[in-house]
């Protein structure tokens, strides 16, 4: 058996790679990118239109 040198992080980080505890970050917020893009288009359109005078 090889002699271990230093602190072995693999044993303490193994829980991060467990299939039940792993979060798929791509699917965590599925519509976030599309929602942000739509909101930015809305804000850009709203800023480009002239304001109506009230009263």
What's the pLDDT score for residue 3? 62
What's the pLDDT score for residue 55? 66
Q: Quick one: tokens of 31? A: 């519509």
Q: Quick one: tokens of 18? A: 């467990």
Averaged over successive runs of 10 residues, the pLDDT of the chain (55 residues) comes to: 65 72 67 94 94 77
b/e code 20-51 from CB counts within 10 Å (16+ = b): eeeeeeeeeeeeeeeeeeeeeeeeeeeeeeee
Residue 11, number of CB atoms within 10 A of its CB: 8
For the chain, the domain total comes to 1
Q: Quick one: tokens of 1? A: 């058996």
Q: Which domain holds residue 27?
A: 9-48
What's the pLDDT score for residue 47? 94
Does 17 reside within a domain? yes
What's the pLDDT score for residue 37? 96
């Amino acid at each position: 058996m090889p002699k271990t040198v230093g602190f072995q992080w693999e044993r303490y980080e193994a829980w991060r790679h467990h299939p039940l505890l792993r979060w798929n970050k791509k699917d965590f917020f599925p519509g976030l990118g599309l929602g942000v893009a739509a909101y930015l288009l809305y804000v850009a359109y709203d800023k480009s239109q002239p304001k109506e005078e009230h009263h």
